[in-house]
Structures are given as C-alpha cells and as structure tokens.
Amino acid sequence: MQQQQQRKASAELDFFTEYGEGSRYRIEEVIGKGSYGVVCSAFDTRTGDKVAIKKINDIFEHVSDATRILREIKLLRLLRHPDIVEIKHILLPASRREFRDIYVVFELMESDLHQVIKANDDLTPEHYQFFLYQLLRGLKYIHTANVFHRDLKPKNILANADCKLKICDFGLARVAFHDTPTAIFWTDYVATRWYRAPELCGSFFSKYTPAIDIWSIGCIFAELLTGKPLFPGKNVVHQLDIITDLLGTPSQEAIARVRNEKARRYLSSMRKKKTVPFSQKFPNADPLALRLLERMLAFEPKDRPTAEEALADPYFKNIANVDREPSAQPVTKMEFEFERRRLTKEDVRELIYREILEYHPKMLKEFLQGTDSSGFMYPSAVDQFKKQFAYLEEHYGKGGIVTPPERQHASLPRACVLYSDRPAQKSPDITEDLSKCLIKDAEKPPETSNEVPLSRVPVPVPQDPQARPGKVVGSALHYGSSNGTTLAADLYEQQRIMRNPIPSSGPSNPLPSGTSYPRRNPSFKSERGGSDRVEKPPYMAGKVAAALEGPSGHW
C-alpha cells in the first residue's frame, strides 16, 4: 500500500515534462492539488523571486475546459492591478501544435482567505476593514474593464501574512459588451452556491449586472465577521430559503421581475418573512460596516452599490484614497472575439499558444510576421526535474524545509562536443560563455591530407539557453589546412549545399583516410536513371589554386 502511494505521489510530482525552459526554476514543494493538476512553489533563478507554478494537465481533453483556461490567462494579462494576482510568465511549449499541458508562473502567495478565516479567530475590526477595502478596490478595476468575475469566494482570494489580498481564478469570468445580447443569456450555474446572488439562483432577471459580484463580496465580508458562511445552502431552493430568512420575503414588484416562471411561483407562494436586523445577526460588528453590508446584500441588484460607490462609503473614511483606486480601460471586443464563435480543439490550442507568446516577445514578433517555426524543439530538463521531485517525495511529510538538489549544469542538445576556452565553471557561467564554445568535427580529415572536400557534414550547434528555442547561436567553426591556416576556398565550400557530396573515388582519386560522409545506399539511382553522385566541378581546381596564391586571387 505504501509503495502504491509512493508511486502515485511520484507520478504527480513528475512536474516538468518537455519544457527545457523549466531549468530556470528550482522546485521547492507542492502547495496545492486539484482536478486541474498541481501547484508547486519554486525559486526563479533568473530574477531571485519566489513563484508558484501551476501545471494544468491535458487542457484540450474538453474544449470547454480549454476555453476556460484561455479566458483566464487572457484576462489576467489584461487586468494588471495590485489587488489581482499576476501571471509572471508562461513556459513555452516544445511544440506549437502538439502540447497538452501548460505551466503558468504566478507570484507566490502564502495562503487564501478561506484558510485565514478558518485559522484565525483573533481578527480585528481593522482587519475586516482593510480586507473589504482591497476586495472592493480590485472589483472596481475589474468592473470598469467591463468584466464580471462571477465566482468570488474565500478560496479565490489569495492572502499573505501582511494582510495583502489578491483576487484570482478568472475561469468563469465574462466580458460584457453592451451592444450584444450574449450577456443576457449566460448560464445560471455560476459562482459557488453559497456566494451566489439571488438572481443567479433562479434566473431571476433578464440581464445580469456587476451587482452579482457585489453580492459575493458581501457574503465574504459577513463570513469574515462571524467566521462561518452566511448562506450555506444545500441546494437552490434551500439557498433561497436561508436568504429570505435574513432579508425577508421580496416585494411583489421584485417578484414580478423574476424571469423564471417556477421561481416566480415559488417566491409568490412563500410564507411572509420579516427582515432580521443586521445588528441582531452581527451583534459585535461596527455599525458602519453593517450598514454597508446591508447595502451589498440587497435582494434586488439595482439596490446594491457599485464597487466605486461602496469605496466612497463612510466605513472607509480613514483609509479611502481615490488616487489608489484606479479604473481600467474597457476590454476590447477583439480580445474576446472567440467567445462569439464555436471553437474546435485546434482553434483553442492556437489561441492559447498565441497568449503564451505574449510572455516571449521575440517569438511573438516572428509569429506576427509569419516567420516562426511550428515544429521547434529545445533542450529538456526532464531528468534533472525527475530527480528533484523524487527527492521531494522521499522527504515529503517528514516536517521541516525540504530543498531538492541543485542542477549541476544547463541542458544542452545531444550529439555535440563542446570545448571551452576557459576552465570548468559553475552552471550560472555556462550561459554567458556558451558563445565562446567551439565545435569540433567528430571525424576530421587527417592534417596530412591535401584533399579539399566538396562539403562538410553538418555539425549540431549548441543553443543559448536564453535565446529563442530553436535559434542557433553563432559559433566559431575551426577548420584548418595542412599548414594550420584556414583556406578561403574551404570557408566558401562550407556554405555550399550539394546532394550526396561524395567525391568520385578510384585509383586516381582515392578517398582520404578518416574522412566521414553521410551514409547512403551505393545502389541508389536518381530519377534520371544515373547514380545520384555529384562530381567535382571542373573549375574548382582553378578556384582553389587562385585562393592559395594570396590576396590578389579572388572568386
């Protein structure tokens, strides 16, 4: 049983797969797991920052899930605000058309508001005020961008020990364009039930507004005050029951505006309930806080304040500052054109890849110019990360801080030999000095040979880890003649591309010993019926002789 659990945990910890860029990060520990995948804390060796890397598995298994991921990473790129979690980087996949997982690098936060409420029973009124201020300030920015979050709850609000909060998880968010009916017919199943506005419980109103998020913030604030959820409904009907237990039965005018006929009949047949005073429900709370809470938890959306109006409430008189409460530019229709179309799996893959390129400016430029390579590959850090995660798993749960072993060297392409001009260095120095590395032919013709080969076998060239994957770093290729000098003819011939560059052999023209050529079936025939062999051009001997005569000779 224990071995089975270890194997399962080891499989979960096989974090980086084909992402050579992952060598930039040193994984430290697993901090979260879910249906989406795994989240690990890590150290960014390039910037020195601590980050959280979220691996999302098999994102294209369902188009709806892939679209949700696309929506989230796009919104978090567009919504840059101190109270909204930031995406620092997204790792570039090894293949544009075949990747299945993505790795999103976030700023690292220590906990979430759910854990803060659960673990702290000594929160003060100052905590409540500062928490609510940050949430409303972030919500103002989101709403002025014409975005509705639609899934605000304590678990979707990250927290640090310094009381800093950040809103996260925009997978259910939507952009509302006022000139289109798409905002009217959103699905009713949005937001976790306990934090869901009444109009979302029964399709009450014909058009949703930002007030659905204000209701959720009110529920979160009430949970801060009491330490437990305000409306923990078991189902939609029970949810409406406990909401009306506190707020009272809606007025006939409010019931008449209900869109769903069944919900309208249910509310009309409900027994009359009186409103419970908030001072009775929250006896120890600040009266100013309760007055604002009562406004945010109004049954009808039109009676709730906007985030901007809530920030101007007297409750925040001592901390409000309009200069620290910025508005956002509305999100353009072009950014979310995909919401209006029926997307295939390949459509979503291309759109997600396009979003990833936003974090790789050089490749984005080539992509927009139509010059990028769709099948590039670059070195992988798979083996080293497997060792790191195996080490983490072995020491996981034993207490204390677990630090996996350091990487010993940067990953390099296979089938190449590097010769450094300097003594052995530590791994951070390899990146800087990679351009000084020389490549030596695996099989170089002996120096005693006077034969000038027609072409050379291509030699793999090492890549700079900081350069764009697939982009070859220029290096010095040293080829010498019998007297140790580089021939002009030799350099020229390196650039020639010839089919099957094997010189004719025979008694009068033997192959130099030790010379390596590409393997080819000697019986291979060209389409013209002859042997596919390139003979030395008759003028080449004269060109070589001219080059050897000195500067006066030219090609």
Are 134 and 88 in contact by the 8 Å Cβ rule? The answer is no
100 Cβ contact partners less than 8 Å away, ≥ 6 residues apart:
57, 58, 59, 60
Tally of CA atoms within 13 A in the half-sphere of 71 that contains its CB: 22
Q: Are 86 and 76 in contact (CB under 8 A)?
A: yes
How many domains does the structure of the chain reveal?
A: 2
Residue range of the domain that includes 531: 413-555
| CA distances, 164 to each of 97, 110, 134, 168 (Å) | 39, 10, 8, 13
**Does the residue 195 lie in any domain?**
yes
According to DSSP, residue 84 is labeled B
Q: What is the pLDDT of residue 411?
A: 40
| Residue 389 falls inside a structural domain | no
Does one domain contain both 308 and 453?
Answer: no
Domain co-membership, 429 together with 318 = no
Q: Is 112 a catalytic residue?
A: no
The catalytically annotated residue of 83, 101, 112, 151 is 151
Domain identity same for 263 and 130 = yes
| Confidence at residue 428, expressed as pLDDT on a 0 to 100 scale | 43
Among 317, 334, 369, residue at a domain's last position: 369
Q: Tens of pLDDT along the chain (555 residues)?
A: 566 556 545 544 456 554 556 678 888 999 888 777 889 999 999 999 999 999 998 899 999 999 999 999 999 999 999 999 999 999 998 888 889 899 999 999 999 999 999 998 889 999 999 999 999 999 999 999 999 999 999 999 999 999 999 999 998 898 887 654 433 334 444 557 899 998 887 655 456 789 999 999 999 999 999 999 999 999 888 998 999 999 999 988 888 877 777 778 888 888 899 999 999 999 999 999 999 999 999 999 999 999 999 999 999 999 999 999 999 999 988 888 888 888 899 999 999 999 999 999 988 888 888 765 544 434 345 455 556 656 666 665 565 555 555 544 444 333 333 444 444 444 444 334 434 433 334 444 444 444 444 444 444 545 555 544 444 343 333 434 444 444 444 444 444 444 444 444 455 455 444 444 344 444 444 444 444 444 444 444 554 445 445 544 443
Residue 547 and residue 451 share a domain: yes
Domain edge (last residue) among 333, 352, 369: 369
Please indicate, yes or no, whether residues 354 and 425 belong to a single structural domain of this protein: no
- Whether residues 266 and 360 share a domain: the answer is yes
What are the phi and psi torsion angles at 56 (to 5°)? -110, 115
Whether 294 is in a domain gets the answer yes
Residue 381 in domain: no
Could you tell me if residue 81 is inside a domain? yes
3-state helix, strand, coil in the chain (%, to 5): 40, 10, 50
Work out the burial of residue 61: count CB atoms within 10 Å of its CB; fewer than 13 is exposed, 13-18 middle, 19 or more buried. exposed
pLDDT value for 514: 44
Q: Indicate the residue among 314, 346, 369 that finishes a domain.
A: 369
536 is known to lie in a ligand binding site:
no
Q: Are residues 161 and 281 in the same domain?
A: yes
Same domain, 220 and 161: yes
Place of tokens 């009430």: 222
DSSP H or E stretch at residue 106: strand 102-107
Query: In terms of domains, do 173 and 57 share one?
Result: yes
Does 400 map to a domain?
no
- Residues 493-532 as b/e (b if ≥16 CB within 10 A, e otherwise) read beeeeeeebbbeeeeeeebeeebebeeeeeeeeeeeeeee
- pLDDT for 21 equals 67
pLDDT at res. 244: 93
pLDDT of amino acid 470: 42
Which pLDDT score is estimated for 401? 59
Is 143 found in the same domain as 75? yes
CATH number of residue 228's parent domain: 1.10.510.10
With the C-alpha atoms ordered 91, 92, 94, 97, is the resulting torsion angle positive or negative?
Answer: positive
391 within domain boundaries: no
* In a shared domain, residues 57 and 165: yes
* Same structural domain, 50 and 198: yes
Residue 339 located in a structural domain:
yes
